[in-house]
Each structure stands twice: as structure tokens, then as C-alpha cells.
Structure 1
């Protein structure tokens, strides 16, 4: 499983999540405490928003703890909205195209989790994409393909609804192919204006997600695991939840792909 951190609020240097805290994302890359695997050394990536609508991005296949460029960039880049990720590969080789965050236009996306039996349904998932989105696929992970499916299902118009439709489609394909479905999905994504996050699993055992106020009265940090030992600061986001962070603060909603199944 991977580890990630995301932030929206008053501009902060990336190092305040990536490298400075006692349990920073770099620290989690070799010593995660709330994941099945303590080491997340199969690459890393950061995406940040500034003066342009599309995000900047830096990714590499080196472990985050061994890349001096990451520390240098995190110390210099200041942004009101950014995503950072360290990878423990479940599907897809260790190569730059498979490192999160993934970017398409003004959207960025990163994920912790997996689609069970992904290889059996990958071709059917790809067939759901328009030519434009299919041709934009550069890696081989289930994460990138889920992101592209959400774009196909209307991420611009309805971010959470599109993500519910994407997961619903994947679960349907899995059941048709093998008679069962398992999706574990804790993800963050952004259009450069708001920060969105989801925690969901078919078996109600999703990867962890925590939130804490940071960077001004309406700013929030969303993380796979807390960045420090201040237990009272961090709130665990429950399974089946969607979180939206805007200039007005954080809003929590239900995330229910199963409702689509009942309506079908």
C-alpha cells in the first residue's frame, strides 16, 4: 500500500508535509506505521498548483528518502494546493509513468488501494474510454485507469458522482468476470480549485485517511497517516466518505457506489 498527503489552504512550502514533520511523507516512505507494508520505496511524486490552471509535477522511481532533489524542491515550492505520494507497487512496474500523482489537463489524482483481479478486467475498463482518454494513458496501473474512467464519467461536472460511477463500473465488471468484486480506494484529486478525497472499500476495509486543520482558518491537510503525534489534531475519515476542501473549509459527504447498484 502507498502513503500520500494533500493540502489546500493558505500557501505553504511543500516541505511542511513532505519532509519537515516528525512523521513526514519521506519518513513514511521507509517507516509507515498504519499500512500493511512499512516501506514505500517504489517511487514518489508531487503535483502542485500555482499561477497556471494545470499543475506542475515531479515524479521519479527512486525511493523518496534517497532523492535529494525532492527535499530541495519541497523547500522552495510554495503552493495553496498540492498532492504528494510515495508508492508501494501492487500493479504496474516500477517506472516513472506509474508513479502518482497522475495528471490530465487541470486535474491531478493519487490513490492508495487496489482492484482485486485487475488483470482480468483491464481490457474491458480500457474499452470504456474515449479515444482521447485512452491515448492519454501512459502507465499500466489500476490507479491511472480509474482516474481516466472518472474523467470519462464526468469528473469536471460532478467529481464525486463520476468517481462513484467509475467504481460502480469496475465492481460490475469484476462480478461479471469472476463472480466477486473487491475495490479498496482511498484517493485524493483536485481540479486546482478544490481538493477532493474519498475513502471506500467494497469489503469495508479501506486504507486509512485522516484530516487536520492547517494553514489558516479554512485550510486542511489530508493524509494516509498523521504527520505527528498530536492525536487530538487528527480526525479519521470513516469508510464510505467523501471530503471536499474549499476556501470555506472542509465538507464531508457520503460516498455510495452501491446506491447506483440499487438504482440499476
Structure 2
């Protein structure tokens, strides 16, 4: 369906992650090994945090990532200590720039791989649950963006874990109301420039693939002369749909129904349990 990644560490050129590894995200846009689809050519996007702006920057385009020369130039020029990137395979909504990830609200960025099943059937109920003060900021027509704005409605900016669990629980309740057996399949990531929160969850317990890096110290020991690894630093961290290089023990698969929270070099991994919103929607 889609492929995505999120990076935190020392400031590095975006190309060091997006283009240069043997199985980079750009390679995955053409040749995904673990995705539901091999090709992810229905647009792409990158969001990053810089030192001169409170808000994250974005570059999104509806063209395939592998053919966009401006993306390569941007990735070569821009350095950032935290960024997310996404290559899209559409699941029934149009190929247009406003449907490309990452989605943004304030300091928050959001990417998603998966789907809300029978989304056209559930769309009205889900959209009507978005808080009125947030509704005006919805730009596109994807299920992914509605997931983001539901999480914001349920308090993402205060408590990301609680908000994401409530978002998932609400979608499942609406889906079951319409006899959709397995309403939700997702790997998602949200970040505010300080933390990365990622979830692997599906109603049918068969989520899309998701991994995180284990140790950049180990990578540096394996590749002591690689300037990209040296530049990232020992505390660098990646969470991603597919590994970027084929090296054992560098990547750890995130289990089904798990939330991962990374901040300031600390990593927590806990059970993800969808639940109904605290206030009735």
C-alpha cells in the first residue's frame, strides 16, 4: 500500500536516508519487498524540522518519487535532525497533492500505511466526529487524513498514546456499526519534532510490516568508514516500513498491536489497546 520512515538523530542530509542506502525509501517506491503492493507511485512527501521555524517544513508531490528530480535536489540540500517521508500507493482516493503524506497540523506530522475498510461507507460518521475547530484544516479526501484529525480531536497534542488508542477504538466502533468485520489496518507515525510515536495495529491482527533500528553503534562498528553513519551519531533512530540495508541484528520487527515511543534517546515499546473516546462522540 505505502512505505514510510521516520528519522531522529544528529542533523543529516535527507538523501543519506531517502536515496543512498541499497534499499532506500526511493527504491521501495519501485521495489517494495514487504509491502502489499510492489510499486508505490501515487505521490510522495517529506516533512522535516529546522532550527529557524516552529512549524515543520513539507515537500509533497503527486508524481512518483523515483522520477522527481526536485526531490533529489531537495534531499541533497536539506539537513535535519528529525524528518518523516512517505511514498504512496492509493487505496481508492484520488492521486492529488492534498492526499499525499505527511499531513500537518501545527508542529505535528502524521504518516500512515494501511486503510480504513469500506471508508466511503464510514466516511460521514468519521468526519462528523472531528472537532469543529479542526475541521476547516482538512485538505484532502483520504482515510489517513481523517485518522490524523480524529487523533487530534481526541487529544493528540496532550497525550499521543491515548489519542491514537481512542482514534482506533472509535473507527472500529463505527465500522462494526456498519457490519465491517475488520475496519482498521494501520502502521502510523506521529511526531512533533521532539518525539516519534509509531503504532502497528490491525483489527484482524495482520498489520503491514514495521521495524525500528536497534543500534547505530553497531552499525558504526560494522561500517566504521561510512560518513552517513558517523554523521547520524550513536543515538540516531529509525522506524520504517522496511529495512534499508540487509544486515542482521540491525533491525527489529515491531510486534502486532504495539506502540513505540522514542524521545531523547529513550525507547519505550508497549501494548496498543484501542478504546472508546473519553467523551461520547
Normalised by the shorter chain, which TM-score bucket?
Answer: over 0.9
The corresponding residue for 1:127 is 128
Deviation at 1:5, TM superposition (A): 1.1
Asked whether the equivalents of residues 53 and 192 of structure 1 are also in contact (C-alpha less than 8 Å), the reply is no
1:2 aligned partner: 2
Question: Matched residues in 1 for 2:75 and 2:68: separation?
Answer: 11
Q: Matched residues in 2 for 1:110 and 1:236: separation?
A: 18
3-state secondary structure, aligned to 2:178: helix
Supply the distance in 2 between the matched residues of 1:163 and 1:139 (Cα, whole angstroms): 20
- Counting only pairs closer than 5 Å after superposition, residues 85-234 of structure 1 correspond to structure 2 as 85-178=86-179, 180-212=181-213, 213-214=215-216, 215-234=232-251
**1:33-112 mapped onto 2 (5 Å cutoff):** 33-51=33-51, 52-112=53-113
* Cα shift at 1:133: 1.3
* Between 98-107 and 181-190, the greater mean CA deviation after superposition: 181-190
- Residue 255 (structure 2) pairs with residue 254 (structure 1): no
- SS of the residue corresponding to residue 146 of structure 2 reads helix
Please state how far the C-alpha of 1:129 moved relative to its aligned partner: 1.3
Q: Deviations over 1:139-176 (max 9, x none)?
A: 00000000000000000111011011011001000111
Q: d(CA) in 1 for partners of 2:154 and 2:261? A: 19
Measure the CA separation in 2 of the matches of 1:190 and 1:91.
Answer: 26
Is the 2:44–2:61 contact (alpha carbons within 8 Å) kept by the matching residues of 1? Answer: yes
2:30 aligned with 1:30: yes
Q: Measure, in 1, the Cα distance between the counterparts of 2:233 and 2:15.
A: 17
- Where 2:171 maps in the other structure, the secondary structure is helix
The alpha-carbon deviation at position 4 of structure 1 amounts to 0.6
- Is the Cα–Cα contact under 8 Å of residues 176 and 183 in structure 2 kept in the other structure? no
Identify unmatched segments of 5+ residues in structure 1: none
Q: Does the residue aligned with 2:172 lie in a helix, a strand or coil?
A: helix
Normalising by structure 1, what TM-score? 0.95
Aligned length: 261
Secondary structure at the counterpart of residue 151 of structure 2 = helix
Unaligned runs of 5+ in 2: 217-231
CA distance in 2, matches of 1:139, 1:149: 14
**Offset, 1:232:** 1.8
Partners of 1:208 and 1:224 within 8 A in 2 = yes
The TM-score normalised by the length of structure 2 is 0.90
* The 10-residue stretch of structure 1 (173-182 or 133-142) with the greater mean CA deviation from structure 2: 173-182
* Aligned partners of 1:11 and 1:78 also within 8 Å: yes
Q: Deviations 1:82-128 (Å, cap 9, x if unpaired)?
A: 00000000031000000000001110000000011111111111111
CA distance in 2, matches of 1:99, 1:188: 15
